[in-house]
Chain A
Amino acid sequence: MSTSARPAWSELATLVHKLNQPLAAILTNAQAAQHYLTGSAHAQAELRGILADIVEDNRRAVEIIKEMRQRLRNCALERRDAAALPAEGATPEGDGR
């Protein structure tokens, strides 16, 4: 039997929770930027900050998605390995009932 730990659903739930943070920041930043597109000098400084944060938050999100994929992949591999092993005690014809 494989010895790697099966990802607990709570771990995935935590990752989903974490993923919502950069996504929330990206959405709100983008919508704030739409408002600031009025062209004043102060607004330009805000816009620069907003875009820098959006780029960074996108990276955060990508990292979390990678981690989620990896865990799901491990889980799928485990299941495949488990299915390939013969079940203990089973006969080829079944019960005969």
Chain B
Amino acid sequence: MNRACIFSIQRASFVDGPGIRTAVFFKGCGLRCEWCHNPESWSSQPQLLFYQNRCMQCGRCRIACPNGAIRDDYTVKVDLCSQCGMCEQVCPGGARELCGKMMSVDEIMSEILADRDYYGPDGGVTFSGGECMLQVDALESLLRFCKREGIQTAVDTAGNVPFDLFEQIEPLTDLFLYDIKAVSSSLHKSLTGADNALILDNYRRLHQFCAEKLIVRVPVIPNRNAIDMVRIADFVGENTPVMVELLPYHAMGISKAQAFGASVLNTKPPSQAEMEDFRRLFRERKVVCV
């Protein structure tokens, strides 16, 4: 497969793995996390974002739209929108943004290769999303291309996919950034809309398979999964050695969610003291915190 639906490519990322990285964000995700700061990643199809504060109400988008999908108040009738992008092209204020487009492997690689001089021994590319493993064939092509070019690869995944997909890409992947959001099944379902049995099972199998390639990533959301942190630490601690990265909640995705018409969690980030308490839980179980 030579094409994938990508909604963002971020160069010079400091936060998507070790070293300096290019992060490629695939569109489409099986989870609906309450705190997700990329809600545009959920659907696997291109979608239209509307930034109301940039709209000058000039009407050019309504004229340009071939399907009459734009209302009088400039919001979009989603069922009529074909994501053709005409409104984005004509909007003078940049209020319309088509999020997600099909990109060829060559196009994606061109972006990845632009920064290869900055990767050094630790950095490289991280494939994330959304859930990049839902487009595993394109992902495999990209991983293969990266290996040929000598670029270190990382896959950031929620793990909610059949295990054979991991087997398919594991030989081409240097690092798995594996998200664990909750161990309690009912809590996981209420926070993400999905069961976690497959996720936890995949994690155990992946750890057996290639523990040295694993970094566990745990989002820390106060009053949400923070209450499950002891169980998460216990679970991760069952299979050592392993490294864990705790990711404190932040509110930076809220304005984007609003442009998307989604509502996402808006709460206080955890304090430094709280984060240190959580790290201690893992260290006590012989898990290394990065």
Partners in one complex: no
